[in-house]
Amino acid sequence: MAHLSRFLSPLTRFRGLFSRKPARANDARSAVPAIRKATGPTLEATGLLRSFGSGSEKTFALQNVSIELRSGELNLLMGPSGSGKSTLLAVISALLRPDAGHVRAMGQDIWRMNETELERFRLRHCSYIFQGYNLFPALTARQQLEVVLQWGEGAGRTEARKRADRVLGQLGLANKAHLRPASMSGGEKQRVAIARALVKNPSFVFADEPTSALDWDNGQQVIGLLNEISRERGATVLVVTHDHRLVPFADRVFEMSDGRLQLDAPAAPDTGVFYPDQTLIDICPPHEPRLRLREPVYVNTH
Ligand SMILES: Nc1ncnc2c1ncn2[C@@H]1O[C@H](COP(=O)(O)OP(=O)(O)OP(=O)(O)O)[C@@H](O)[C@H]1O
């Protein structure tokens, strides 16, 4: 089982929920682009090495791993237990320093940052979603979100409540806003965790086995939401999972084995068109789970 949270100090766990990034002006749902530019990578890792232990006990968890992720895409990271998925997720999400290699995000080499800069980067740009939800037991669903906005962004009480309620409503949780985690089902708890990740409008969402504790209906709902976060809000989403049923929801599927990344695997049947100038015409209905390109189709526009 992957446990990304083991790479977090308790303080980082708490602070990682917050962002000082101002809310985007437009509600992302109203801004689903019919045509979106396929941009370059927003997150680019090269030559990552990471080991644990020493001597005969030494484990090489990452062995020269390079990967590129783009905004607006949902990426799955799969592979057998112990293949290095959680380690890779932790290294590229600014939680675990590699022994060697580079991770470039938002135009910066994140592992050249000092601790303060790293913390600011996590706060401003990253959201983390864990298998175990990581909700505060004493807070209601609404308060889980409000605290992010009030403490993280300095939002006033009224504004925080309005924004929290809007996101809870978008995730079908309006009638659960007053409940504490102990009174919620696993699926509801994970949706609250996603709402909390969403409310800060992150550029990057990193999720470690977010559906493994859920039944298939709830799991499907959760991956559908992650899909929407990438597509409608333009976030770069990376999900570690063992569940092959999630594959049709993904833009790209990366396989790891023995600390190495295998070739990018295709996800689902052709539903879009790539033009040579890299403009992607997304022909899927905005609120349907996205179907994917098996092979990019290049159309001669001349
Ligand atoms: N903190 C640690 N100390 C020692 N070894 C570690 C540590 N973290 C990971 N490892 C080792 O590194 C290798 C990769 O572990 P990692 O958790 O990244 O794999 P994984 O693919 O996520 O596995 P799973 O699917 O079981 O969660 C494993 O052999 C693991 O035992």
Q: Does ligand 1 lie within 6 Å of residue 233's CB atom?
A: no
Count H helices and E strands in the chain, helices first.
8, 13
Residue 119 is predicted with a pLDDT of 87
Pairwise pLDDT comparison (298 vs 52), residue with the higher score: 52
C-alpha–C-alpha distance, residues 91 and 44, integer Å:
12
For residue 220, the model assigns a pLDDT of 86
The CA 290 to ligand 1 mean position distance, Å, reads 31
pLDDT at 90 over 60: yes
Q: Based on the number of CB atoms within 10 Å of its own CB, is 2 exposed (0-12), middle (13-18) or buried (19 or more)? A: buried
CA 204 – ligand 1 centroid, Å: 23
Please tell me the distance between residue 85's alpha carbon and the centre of ligand 1 in angstroms. 8
Report whether residue 81 contacts ligand 1, using a CB cutoff of 6 Å: yes
33 pLDDT higher than 80:
no
With bands split at pLDDT 50, 70 and 90, how would you rate the model's confidence at 211?
Answer: confident
- Concatenate the DSSP letters of all residues of 104-129 into one string: EETTEEGGGS-HHHHHHHHHHHEEEE
Beta bridge partners of 63: 49
| C-alpha to C-alpha distance for 267 and 251, rounded to whole angstroms | 6
Q: Mutual orientation of helices 186-199 and 216-233 as an angle, nearest 10°? A: 10
Most distant CA pair in the chain: distance in Å?
62
Ligand 1 midpoint to CA 189 (Å): 26
Establish whether residue 163 lines the binding site of ligand 1, counting it when its CB lies within 6 angstroms of any ligand atom: no
pTM of this prediction?
Answer: 0.75
pLDDT in tens, 38-87: 456 799 999 999 999 999 889 999 999 999 999 999 999 999 999 999 99
Q: Angle 263-103-96 (CA atoms, 0-180°, nearest 5)?
A: 100
The atom of ligand 1 lying closest to the CA of 259 is: 14
Determine if ligand 1 sits within 6 Å of the CB of residue 158: no
User: Residue with structure tokens 């349907």?
Assistant: 288
The encoded tokens of residue 264 equal 């990018």
> Residue 296 C-alpha to ligand 1 middle, in angstroms?
34
The DSSP H or E segment spanning 302 is none
Whole-number Å distance between alpha carbons of 122 and 163? 21
Q: State yes or no: ipTM above 0.95.
A: yes
Task: Report which of residues 236 and 40 the model is more confident about.
Answer: 236
Q: For residue 20, is pLDDT > 80?
A: no
Chain segment 126-158, per-residue pLDDT in tens = 888 887 888 999 999 999 999 988 877 788 999
Spell out the residues 6+ positions from residue 25 whose beta carbon is closer than 8 angstroms to its own: none
Contact 232, 205 (CB under 8 A): no
Identify which of 134, 212, 206, 142 has the alpha carbon closest to the alpha carbon of residue 177. 142
Rounded to 10 degrees, what is the CA torsion of 108, 22, 38, 222?
110
Domains of the chain: 4-262 (3.40.50.300)
Give the gyration radius of the chain's Cα atoms: 19
pLDDT tens digits, 103-117: 999 889 999 999 999
Where is mean pLDDT largest: 59-63, 126-130, 169-173, 192-196? 59-63
Query: What pLDDT is recorded for position 232?
Result: 87
Average pLDDT, the chain: 77
Highest mean pLDDT among 11-15, 144-148, 225-229: 144-148
Instruction: Give me the amino acid identity at 88.
Output: L
Cβ proximity of 44 and 92 under 8 Å: no
Residue with tokens 């783009």: 70
Going by C-alpha positions, the residue among 253, 214, 209 that lies closest to residue 81 is 209
Q: Residue whose CA is closest, atom 29 of ligand 1?
A: 82
Does residue 265 have a pLDDT over 70?
no
